Amino acid sequence: MYHLTESCENGVNVYGIKGHDLEYRSLCTDRDAVAALVRRCNEGDLAPWQLPDVVEDFAARLSFPDPLL
Q: Do the domain assignments include residue 25?
A: yes
CA–chain centroid gap for 20, Å, is 14
Q: Do the domain assignments include residue 35?
A: yes
Q: Do the domain assignments include residue 69?
A: no
Q: Is the dihedral of CA 48, 24, 3, 62 positive or negative?
A: negative
Residue 23 CB: number of other CB atoms within 10 A? 13
Phi/psi at 40 (5° precision): -65, -40
Q: Number of structural domains, the chain?
A: 1
What pLDDT score does 22 carry? 96
Q: Is the dihedral of CA 52, 53, 54, 55 positive or negative?
A: positive
Predicted TM-score of the model (pTM): 0.88
Per-residue pLDDT of the chain in tens (69 residues, 90 and over written 9): 999 999 999 999 999 999 999 999 999 999 999 999 999 999 999 999 999 999 999 999 888 776 665
Domain interval for residue 33: 3-63
What pLDDT score does 18 carry? 98
